[in-house]
Amino acid sequence: MAGYRNRNFSPNAYRQAGYSHTSNYNQNQGGYQQQQKRVVKHSGCRLKQVEGGAYVVYGWKLSNGDMINMYARPYKGTKISTSKSGKRWANLFVTLTNTKTMVKTNCSGLFNLDTKKLYISDFNLIANPQASNGGYFGKHISKEYNR
């Protein structure tokens, strides 16, 4: 009976019923395991407090296959100001570097001393070192800006 085949059940019906010729059975563990896909991180950001209480923010992001590095630091003209709403802000000198083409772009960014977020309005970017999973550096999504 080695050549016996049920004529009422096609090979495609096995796949439709959820059966496959491959198995997730792990012989070392002695049971079934769910295969997990590795999550690839596309951005990150860190915050460091330097001498004198000033902050340095650095981050990275992938953009169209290019790695963009960001480094924000205080400079000689950095001032801390308070807005009408009571938020404290510091202007930082920001350098964006494309590591593929090695093009450097300098701009200014506003650092919120209360929430520890850096806003780069020239490129609509935000750096949040306190975001989960190692920080976030990328597009700033805002109701006011994206109208």
pLDDT, mean of residues 70-79? 89
- Please write the tens of the pLDDT for every residue from 10-25: 556 555 555 555 555 5
Tell me the pTM.
0.67
Give me the domains of the chain, ranges plus CATH numbers: 43-139 (2.40.128)
Per-residue pLDDT of 59-70, as tens digits, reads 999 988 889 999
CA dist 99 and 31 (Å) reads 45
Predicted local confidence at residue 119, as pLDDT: 93
Of all helices (H) and strands (E), which one includes residue 62? Answer: strand 55-63
pLDDT in tens, 102-138: 999 999 999 999 999 999 988 889 999 998 888 889 8
Mean pLDDT for the chain overall: 80
Percent helix / strand / coil, the chain, rounded to 5 = 5, 45, 50
| Residue-level pLDDT at 63 | 83
Long-range contacts of 116-123 (CB under 8 A, 24+ apart): 116/47, 116/55, 118/57, 118/72, 118/92, 118/94, 120/70, 120/94, 123/96
- Residue among 106, 104, 105, 126 nearest 115 (CA): 126
